[in-house]
Amino acid sequence: MASIDVENVGKVYSGGVRAVTDIKLNIADGEFIVLVGPSGCGKSTLLRMVAGLETISEGEVKIGSRVVNNVEPADRDIAMVFQNYALYPHMTVYNNLAYGLKNRGTPKAEIDARVAEAARMLEITQYLERKPRALSGGQRQRVAMGRAIVRKPAAFLFDEPLSNLDAKLRVSMRGEIKRLQRRLGTTSIYVTHDQLEAMTLADRLVVLNGGQIEQIGAPLEVYHAPASTFVASFIGSPAMNLVKGELHGDKLAIGPAMIGLNGFAPTSGAVTVGVRAEDLRIARDDEEALPFRLEYTEELGAQRLIHGTVGDQQITAAVSPEIALSPEMRIAVDAKRLHFFSIDTGKRLPGHVPAEAKFAPVEPVL
């Protein structure tokens, strides 16, 4: 068990390509951190630098209080779960789990005990004598997890461990990873490009873009108060609507329409306005609203997504399936549900932060 401190870390590959820039991240003992971002954002590189599989070009990584920049991966007291599991195909499940312990000279009895314990935890006891090829994808995933667990490391590092599984299995494994991590209390860093996975697993999310941190925060904080248009469009499904608007005093002009802001305007002039699909609703007749031209709908069962335009800008709203649709509608939003971003930098403009963003996550009883 240990905290992990990433201090001003950067990575420049030998060809001069910069992958990661000036990352500062302090991970508390036992915390579950998810690094999320699109392909090529540097999230895997960052994880691999913590693991010791990539050299650290700039800055320091500390595990516990020890600087590990020049420590071999095996001596960093970490365990890693790989995307393609990287099980040793010629070894039985037992040997796959035991290999790391054997290399450390752990006594045989202790290896047996630890493997048995991990296998019981992951419900793979009956497969211990099988080879990986005789296992299904989900079982292989469990073995890969088991290989990490038996080591009792200071930190788990997960590199997109669920992306090779089918959707249903992914959801159940996701729950299982969360449960295991809570139970073992091991500091974890988890890399994924799937924002849903990130939201559901993380104690804190780290959203990366272009090798830099866009935002660090609890999932709801990131969801309800995204720090930039990038985060706003990346976290949440459907993505937050981002439209060009103009602030005139306490009024916001979006295309042809003008709506009042009840004092929530952070600045004036041109801004990028963000609004979640579920915060949009069909307007009552007597309120200020945006004229919405319906283009197509997507049925999600509990919700219906309606895609269309306001003026010449794309908008998606999530409405109840019972509401009758017509080609021309009026949609409204509460002013406090609007997010304002600088049109130049894409950064969130200071101002109102929705109350939901400040809620502490409910700690489950274990």
Binding residues (CB under 8 A) for other proteins: these are: 51-53, 72-75, 78-80, 82-84, 86-90, 99-100, 103-104, 133, 147
Task: Closer to other proteins by CB, 78 or 149: give it.
Answer: 78
- Smallest distance, other proteins to C-beta of residue 264, A: 49
- Distance, CA of 340 to CA of 123 (rounded, Å): 49
Say how far apart CA 217 and CA 227 lie, in whole Å.
10
Enter the tokens of residue 164. 């090779």
Which of 52, 108, 103 minimizes the C-alpha distance to 78?
A: 52
What is the C-alpha separation between 66 and 243, in angstroms, rounded? Answer: 47
Burial class (CB in 10 A: 0-12, 13-18, 19+), 278: middle
CB atoms within 10 A of CB 295: 13
Give yes or no for a contact between 281 and 318, defined as CB atoms under 8 angstroms apart: no
Kindly list the distances between the CA atom of residue 330 and the CA atoms of 24, 65, 289, 311, 320, in Å, as whole numbers in the listed order: 45, 58, 6, 12, 15
Smallest gap from Cβ 40 to other proteins, in A, equals 18
Q: Find the shortest distance in angstroms from Cβ 325 to other proteins.
A: 49
Q: Which is nearer to other proteins, 144 or 254 (by Cβ)?
A: 144
Provide, rounded to whole angstroms, the least separation between the CB of residue 172 and other proteins: 24
CB-nearer residue toward other proteins: 88 or 359 = 88
Q: Which is nearer to other proteins, 14 or 126 (CB)?
A: 14
Residue with smaller CB distance to other proteins, 87 or 231: 87
In this structure, the number of other CB atoms found within 10 A of the CB of residue 144 comes to: 25
Shortest Cβ 54–other proteins spacing (Å):
10
**Closer of 118 and 290 to other proteins (Cβ):** 118
CA gap 348, 223 in Å, rounded: 13
The distance of closest approach from Cβ of residue 255 to other proteins in the complex, given in angstroms and rounded to an integer, is: 50
Q: How many other C-beta atoms can be found within 10 angstroms of the C-beta atom of residue 31?
A: 19
